Amino acid sequence: MPLLLAGIATLVFVISRLTPADPLVSIVGERNLNNPEVVAAAKAQWGLDQSVFVQYVKYMKNLLHGDMGTSFTTRQPVTSDLLDRLPATLELVICALILGVSVGVSLGILAARHRGSIIDGIARFFALLGASLPAFWAGLVLLYVFYAQLGWLPGPGRLDTRDTPPSRITGFYTVDSLLHGDISTFGNAVRHLILPATVLGLGVVGIVTRLVRASLLDEFSLEYVRVARAMGLRERTVVNNHALRNALLPTITIVAFTFAFLITGAVLTETVFSWPGVGNYAVEASRRLDYPAIIGVTILGGIAFLLTNLVSDVAYAFADPRIRLS
Amino acid sequence: MVHRLGSFARPRVLRRVVTIGVATALVLAACGSDNKSNSSSTAAPGGTAGGGGSDKSLVIARQMDVNSLDPSRAYCDTCQIFMTAVYETLIGLDTDNKTLVPRLATSWEANDAQTEFTFHLDPKAKFADGSPVTSADVKFSWERLKGLQGAASYLVSTVQTIDTPDPETVKVTMSQPNSAFLAQVNASYLGIVNSKVAQAQGATADPATDKAETWFLSNSAGSGPFELADYTQGNELRFKRNDNYWGTKSQFPEVIIKETAEAATQRQQLEQGAVDIAMQISNDVAQGMGGSDVTVNPVPSFNYVYLALSPGAVGGDALKKAEVRQAIRLALDYDGLVNVTVGGAGKSQPSPIPNGFAGTDGLAPPKQDVNKAKDLLSQAGETNLTFDATYPTFNVYGVDFSTAMQKVQTDLKAVGIELKLNPVEISVWADKIGKDGIPVTMLYFAPDHTDSSQYVQYFGLLPGSQWQTWAKVDENKDETDLLNQAFAAKDDTSRAKLYNQLAQMMIDDQIIIPVVNPNLFLASRSDIKGMHYSACCNLDLSRLSRG
Amino acid sequence: MTAIALPSGVRVVRRRPPWLRGTSLVAVVSIGMWVIVALTLPLWSPHDPLEPIGDRLLSPNAHNWMGTDALGRDVFTRTLWGARQSLPISFVVIVSSVIVGTVVGAVSGYFGGWLDTVLMRFVDITMAFPPILLAMAITASLGPSVRNAVLAMILVWWPIYARLLRSQVVAVRQREHVESAVAIGASRWLILRRYVLPLSYTPVLVNATTDFGQVVLLTASLSFVGLGARPPSPEWGAMITEGVTNFYDWWIAAAPGVAILLVVFAFNFLGDALRDSFDVKDRGR
Does the pLDDT value for residue A324 go beyond 90? no
**CB of C250 within 8 Å of any CB in chain B?**
no
CA A267 – CA C133 distance, rounded (Å): 8
**φ, ψ of residue C14 in degrees (nearest 5):** -85, 120
What would the mean pLDDT of A69-91 be, rounded to a whole number? Answer: 87
Contact A140 C257 (CB under 8 A): yes
Calculate the CA dihedral of residues A7, A9, A10, A12 and round it to 10 degrees.
120
CA C117 – CA B545 distance, rounded (Å): 70
Q: Which of C57, C231, C232 sits opposite B284 (nearest CB)?
A: C57
**φ, ψ of residue B409 in degrees (nearest 5):** -60, -45
Q: Which chain C residue has its CA at the smallest distance from A263's CA? A: C130
Contact B425 A72 (CB under 8 A): no
**Can you tell me whether residue B28 is helix, strand or coil?**
helix
**Can you tell me whether residue B478 is helix, strand or coil?**
helix
CA distance B200 to chain A (A): 18
Nearest Cα neighbor of A101 from A239, A204, A197, A210 is A204
Q: Are B269 and B38 in contact (CB under 8 A)?
A: no
Cβ burial, residue B207 (10 Å; 0-12/13-18/19+):
middle
Contact C122 A7 (CB under 8 A): yes
Cβ within 8 Å of residue C32, ≥6 positions away: none
pLDDT, one tens digit per residue, over C108-163 is: 887 788 888 889 888 888 888 888 888 988 888 888 889 999 999 999 999 989 98
Q: Are B539 and B385 in contact (CB under 8 A)?
A: no
Task: Evaluate the omega torsion of the peptide bond into residue A77 and state whether it is cis, within 30 degrees of 0.
Answer: no
The predicted pLDDT at position B89 comes to: 95
pLDDT, one tens digit per residue, over C154-200 is: 999 999 899 888 888 777 777 766 677 777 777 767 776 777 777 77
- Please tell me the pTM assigned to this model: 0.85
**Can you tell me whether residue B229 is helix, strand or coil?**
strand
What would the mean pLDDT of A70-79 be, rounded to a whole number? Answer: 83
Q: Work out the mean pLDDT of chain B and round it to a whole number.
A: 87
Q: Name the more confident of C179 and A268.
A: A268
Q: Would you give per-residue pLDDT tens digits along chain B (547 residues)?
A: 333 333 333 445 545 555 565 565 555 544 444 433 333 333 333 333 333 445 789 999 998 888 889 999 999 899 999 999 999 999 999 999 989 999 999 999 999 889 999 999 999 999 999 999 999 999 999 999 999 988 899 999 999 999 999 999 999 999 999 999 999 999 999 999 999 999 999 999 988 888 898 899 899 999 999 999 999 887 889 999 999 999 999 999 999 999 888 888 899 889 988 899 999 999 988 988 888 899 999 999 999 999 999 999 999 999 999 999 999 999 999 999 999 999 889 999 999 999 889 999 889 999 999 999 999 999 998 888 999 999 998 778 889 999 999 999 999 999 999 999 999 888 788 888 988 899 999 999 999 999 999 999 999 999 988 899 999 999 999 999 999 999 998 888 999 999 999 999 999 999 999 999 999 999 999 999 999 999 999 999 999 999 8
Radius of gyration (Cα) for chain C, nearest Å? Answer: 23
**CB of B7 within 8 Å of any CB in chain A?**
no
Which residues of chain C neighbour B402 with C-beta distances below 8 Å?
231, 242, 245
**Can you tell me whether residue B231 is helix, strand or coil?**
strand
CA A35 – CA A30 distance, rounded (Å): 10
Domains of chain C from N-terminus onward = 63-274 (1.10.3720.10)
Nearest Cα neighbor of B538 from B281, B302, B244 is B302
Q: Which of A75, A228, A288 sits opposite B428 (nearest CB)?
A: A288
Helix or strand run (H / E) with residue B396 = strand B395-396
CA distance A199 to chain C (A): 14
Inter-residue long-range contacts of B374-379, CB under 8 Å, 24+ positions, other chains counted: B374/B327, B374/B415, B374/B416, B376/B323, B376/B324, B376/B326, B376/B327, B376/B330, B377/B323, B377/B324, B377/B327, B377/B415, B377/B416, B377/B417, B379/B323
Contact B264 C245 (CB under 8 A): yes
Q: Which of residues 433-472 of B touch A (CB under 8 A)?
A: 434-435
pLDDT, one tens digit per residue, over B311-321 is: 999 999 999 99
Q: Which of residues 185-244 of B touch A (CB under 8 A)?
A: 207-208, 211, 214, 217, 232-235
Q: Which chain C residue has its CA at the smallest distance from B339's CA? A: C56
**CB of B343 within 8 Å of any CB in chain C?**
yes
Q: Which of B262, B287, B406 sits opposite C245 (nearest CB)?
A: B262
The predicted pLDDT at position A239 comes to: 64
Query: How would DSSP label each residue in C227-275?
Result: SSPPTT---HHHHHHHHHHTTTSTHHHHHHHHHHHHHHHHHHHHHHHHH
Cβ burial, residue B4 (10 Å; 0-12/13-18/19+):
exposed
Calculate helix-pair angle for C236-245, C75-111, nearest 10 degrees: 130
Cβ burial, residue C173 (10 Å; 0-12/13-18/19+):
middle
Q: Quote the distance between the C-alpha of residue B226 and its chain's center.
A: 19
Cβ within 8 Å of residue B348, ≥6 positions away: B334, B335, B337, B338, B365, B366, B514, B515, B516, B517
Interface test with A, best of C133, C151, C214 (most A CBs within 10 A): C133
**φ, ψ of residue C74 in degrees (nearest 5):** -75, 120
Cβ burial, residue C205 (10 Å; 0-12/13-18/19+):
middle
Cβ within 8 Å of residue B118, ≥6 positions away: B108, B109, B110, B169, B170, B171, B172
CA B317 – CA C196 distance, rounded (Å): 58
Q: Are B396 and B305 in contact (CB under 8 A)?
A: yes
Q: Which of A11, A137, A144 sits opposite C125 (nearest CB)?
A: A11
Edge-first strand order for the sheet with B226-232 is B226-232, B236-241, B254-259, B58-62, B277-278, B520-525, B294-299
Nearest Cα neighbor of A270 from A281, A280, A259, A260 is A280
The predicted pLDDT at position A299 comes to: 86
Neighbouring chains of C at 3+ CB pairs within 8 Å? Answer: A, B
CA distance A96 to chain B (A): 12
Q: Per-residue confidence at A39, pLDDT binned at 50, 70, 90?
A: confident
Cβ burial, residue C15 (10 Å; 0-12/13-18/19+):
exposed
The predicted pLDDT at position C279 comes to: 64
CA C257 – CA A219 distance, rounded (Å): 38
Does the pLDDT value for residue C3 go beyond 60? no
Q: What is the identity of the amino acid at A165?
A: P
Exposure letters C273-284 (e unless 16+ CB within 10 A, then b): bbbeeeeeeeee
Q: Per-residue confidence at A243, pLDDT binned at 50, 70, 90?
A: low
**CB of B53 within 8 Å of any CB in chain A?**
no
As a three-state string, the secondary structure of A138-166 is HHHHHHHHHHHHCCCCCCCCCCCCCCCCC
**CB of C171 within 8 Å of any CB in chain A?**
no
**CB of B32 within 8 Å of any CB in chain A?**
yes
